Structure 1
Amino acid sequence: MPSPIPVSRLLPKDLFPSVDAGACSSPLLKHGHTLHVPAPRPAGHGRYSRPWASVIVWPELRAVEPLGSGGFGSVFSAQYLGQSAALKRVNRSTKNRLASRHSFWNELNAAHARHRNIVRVLAASTCVPAEPWYEGCVGCVLMELCVSDLQQRIYGAAPLEETRSLRYAADVTHGLRFLHAHGVLHLDIKPANLLLSRDDVVKIADFGCSVKLEPGSDAVSPQLSHVGGTFTHRAPELLRGEPVSAKADVFSFAITLWQLLTREPPYVGDRQYVIYAVVAREMRPPLHGHAVFSGARGHVFSALLSRCWSAQPQNRPSSEELTEELLLLRGPGAPDT
């Protein structure tokens, strides 16, 4: 039987204020109750909006076209209530059904975040139509539609100048700063999960590996963290199965920034070799042989990356410190996105 969507993970009222909460909506809504959730103190530009409703009006979902697929799901472009949207269908894993369910609920860890650099969730449901297309589906998440991602942008044909690379990086740190301030660890920061909007703004997406910290805690125990994610970008403490904190996202950000600056893949070779070398030998992407790391400015980049991907999490800067450092790197007049 499908699980009801918790009242904390719901459709924004301003998108569809007259929806009829059906069988899969929160039981609190059925009886006319409203749950008031105190919002944490916001960090930077953004807010946590209060929840309202949680249904997907399936007859209003049209023109579904495939965009891509990942470990537990597939993403499609669609029209929903007259607006362009992205539909993520989380699929049931035949090898690990519990992991696929976790992936769906993790997608909603930042569902009520309203921030310029975080993909906005519009609706989510575990109640899907009884049609062949939805067979094997754990649940669906409707999100704002973006036009590209940093993976495509970095390795595309057009050159990626330093000023734009740093602006993209600043967008990521602003999003991470907001998430970390609200106790959300993404744990899968990489170029493919950093989407680009039509106005060329980076938005953090794909929260399938994310975790929500307990109030007052700054780390999560290994049994709660996920073994998924992308090994090339994962912090060594995650690879070792140790407790993780927001500093794990900082490590992943450093690998991504290196890619933005060099336009090269971070590692080559067998997966097991890379994991062993990162953990046991502290292997990192090379800081020599690239023009971007030469001269006084290049040394600043090298020093920043070295701190961000330090083997010791406590030696890495926070996402808040990263935001300030990138603003200085971008120079006077750079907008504080």
Structure 2
Amino acid sequence: MPSPIPIHRILPEGFPPTITLRPCSSPNQLQRGGQHFAFVKQTKELTQRPWYTVIWDELKLFDLLGSGGFGWVYKGTYYGKTVAIKKVRKCTKNKLAARQSFWAELNVAHLVHENIVKVVAATTSVPASPQAEDSVGIIIMEYAGGTSLDHRIYNCADSLDVEECLRFSSDIASGLGFLHSHSIAHLDLKPANVLLTESGRCKIGDFGCSHKLAAGNDLSPNGQLRHLGGTYTHRAPELLRGCSTTLKADIYSFAITLWQMVSRDHPFSGDRQCVMYAVVAYNLRPPFSPVFNKTLMGRKIRSVIDHCWAVEPIDRPSAEQLLETINNLKSLL
């Protein structure tokens, strides 16, 4: 299946976009001069195999972790190691969107960072079965834990204390900084897409809305295609207005996420269209509850949020600046 994303966007560094392709599970299996080139997973945890190759005999599916419009996510094992397996579902109403989502997930296939969910393997060549007919492809990822930040915020008896809020925020900002250093905008950052490991660290996942921006430039040259997905409550106002994507859209989403961690409330209620209109036309933002004003640290966190959800992207901090600010606040505890 051809990728709707230009091939030069997913080539390994150092390879020109003129390399001819051969039939394979993904466009990252390359051929030049009789030799085959591919992204090779640099890890001792599994095996030194190209990440686009799935060895089906080594893949075992167990529990269903979740499902939705994107498809299904299972817990399983691959070469004996616990992994998460995402089966991307075809969308009958918009087949292109399903394929774009699949390939967008692979924007981070070659990246490794402690605060990013790692891709282990991926393929569009699924063995014949009734389920395969409804599948765009399969992505095998590291298993980062069965708990999301959303669950921790809204479904646990104890609220997050300041130390946890800042620690989680530091992890998220670190992950964003790494993505942004590779010109990748996540575009769907929210608590449900942040996983909590057993050790209590955050990993950003679900890159189905992500976009690789032009190298050395945080501005998408084709903004009209950059914000069709994502969650409206966390979507930056410039994207709601139909402007081009910048990396600063993720900083706005971070602000909403941090507000949720502190307030334990949902950012907006009411009609979806009315909320989006108010965010754009009247600069609507979630209200600050008294918890933000009770302590000096609460007021400092409020200031961080205010800075991050500024109307204009240029007025928001970069992920690197945000991480520095959060770590400075951590040092005051």
Taking structure 1 as the reference length, the TM-score comes to 0.85
- Contact map agreement 1:3 1:126 (CA 8 A) in 2: no
**Structure-2 residue corresponding to 1:180:** 180
The alpha-carbon distance between structure 1 residues 142 and 124, as it changes in their structure 2 partners (threshold 3 A), is same
Aligned-pair CA distance for 1:181: 0.6
1:103 correspondence with 2:82: no
- Contact map agreement 1:236 1:279 (CA 8 A) in 2: yes
**Structure-2 residue corresponding to 1:16:** none
Aligned-pair CA distance for 1:330: 1.0
Aligned to 1:128, the other structure's residue is in SS state coil
Aligned-pair CA distance for 1:2: 6.7
In the TM superposition, what are the counterparts of 1:306-317 in structure 2 within 5 Å? 306-317=306-317
- Contact map agreement 1:22 1:55 (CA 8 A) in 2: no
- Contact map agreement 1:124 1:140 (CA 8 A) in 2: yes
- Give structure 1 regions of 4+ aligned residues with deviation exceeding 4 angstroms: 1-10
**Structure-2 residue corresponding to 1:319:** 319
- Structure 1 unaligned regions, length at least 5: 11-20, 38-49
**Structure-2 residue corresponding to 1:42:** none
CA RMSD of aligned residues (A): 2.7
Cα distance between partner residues in 2 of 1:240 and 1:57: 44
Aligned to 2:230, the other structure's residue is in SS state coil
Cα distance between partner residues in 1 of 2:32 and 2:197: 33
**Structure-1 residue corresponding to 2:203:** 203
Question: Which residue type is aligned with residue 272 of structure 2?
Answer: R
Cα distance between partner residues in 2 of 1:266 and 1:174: 23
Question: Which residue type is aligned with residue 70 of structure 1?
Answer: G
1:331 correspondence with 2:331: yes
Aligned to 2:225, the other structure's residue is in SS state coil
Bigger mean CA deviation after superposition, 26-35 or 129-138: 26-35
Q: What do residues 132-191 of structure 1 show as CA deviations (whole Å, max 9, x unaligned)?
A: 122210111000012211000111223121111110111000000000011100000000
Taking structure 2 as the reference length, the TM-score comes to 0.86
Aligned-pair CA distance for 1:8: 8.4
- Contact map agreement 1:74 1:90 (CA 8 A) in 2: yes
1:34 correspondence with 2:34: no
Cα distance between partner residues in 2 of 1:64 and 1:164: 32
**Structure-2 residue corresponding to 1:292:** 292
1:259 correspondence with 2:254: no
1:133 correspondence with 2:136: no
Cα distance between partner residues in 2 of 1:83 and 1:35: 23
The alpha-carbon distance between structure 1 residues 57 and 155, as it changes in their structure 2 partners (threshold 3 A), is same
Question: Which residue type is aligned with residue 211 of structure 1?
Answer: H
Cα distance between partner residues in 2 of 1:58 and 1:22: 18
**Structure-2 residue corresponding to 1:152:** 151
**Structure-2 residue corresponding to 1:112:** 110
Question: How many residues are aligned here?
Answer: 311
Question: Which residue type is aligned with residue 278 of structure 1?
Answer: V
Cα distance between partner residues in 2 of 1:195 and 1:304: 23
**Structure-2 residue corresponding to 1:171:** 171
Question: Which residue type is aligned with residue 161 of structure 1?
Answer: D
Q: 2:90 aligns with which of 63, 86, 92?
A: 92
Aligned-pair CA distance for 1:305: 0.8
Aligned-pair CA distance for 1:73: 2.3
**Structure-2 residue corresponding to 1:224:** 225
Aligned-pair CA distance for 1:22: 8.8
Percent identity between the two aligned chains: 46
Question: Which residue type is aligned with residue 137 of structure 1?
Answer: S
**Structure-2 residue corresponding to 1:282:** 283
The alpha-carbon distance between structure 1 residues 27 and 36, as it changes in their structure 2 partners (threshold 3 A), is closer
**Structure-1 residue corresponding to 2:302:** 302
Cα distance between partner residues in 2 of 1:277 and 1:132: 45
Question: Which residue type is aligned with residue 176 of structure 1?
Answer: L
Cα distance between partner residues in 1 of 2:323 and 2:134: 41
